[in-house]
Amino acid sequence: NDLPIVYNISWYEQKAVIVLLALLYLGVKNIHLGPTLPAFLSPNVAKVLVDSFGIAGITTVDEDMRIFGL
């Protein structure tokens, strides 16, 4: 969780869901998804992901760089 990893994959691909689930299973937290959260997430599922795993959306480039300390 200390290394900044940038992984860009389209939510239109089923592989993206598998990658997200694998990262959550491995205990990776504070993942930023974007440009918006996937539409297939219900509000309740999104709330659990945000509260339990720190899932967040991306913002502007400058703000994201500041958040990640880059």
Whether 1 is in a domain gets the answer: no
CB 20 within 8 A of CB 28: no
Q: Using one digit for the tens of pLDDT, what is the confidence trace for 20-66?
A: 889 889 998 888 887 777 777 888 988 998 899 988 888 888 888 88
**Would you state the pLDDT for residue 9?**
57
Structure tokens at 35: 């440009």
DSSP string, the chain: --S-------TTSHHHHHHHHHHHHTT----EE-SS--TTS-HHHHHHHHHHH--EE---HHHHHHHTT-
Structure tokens at 4: 């900044």
pLDDT tens figures, 3-23? 666 665 556 567 778 888 898
Residue 48 lies in a domain: yes
Residue 47, domain member (yes or no): yes
pTM above 0.85, yes or no: no
Total domains, the chain: 1
Q: Show the domain range for 45.
A: 8-68
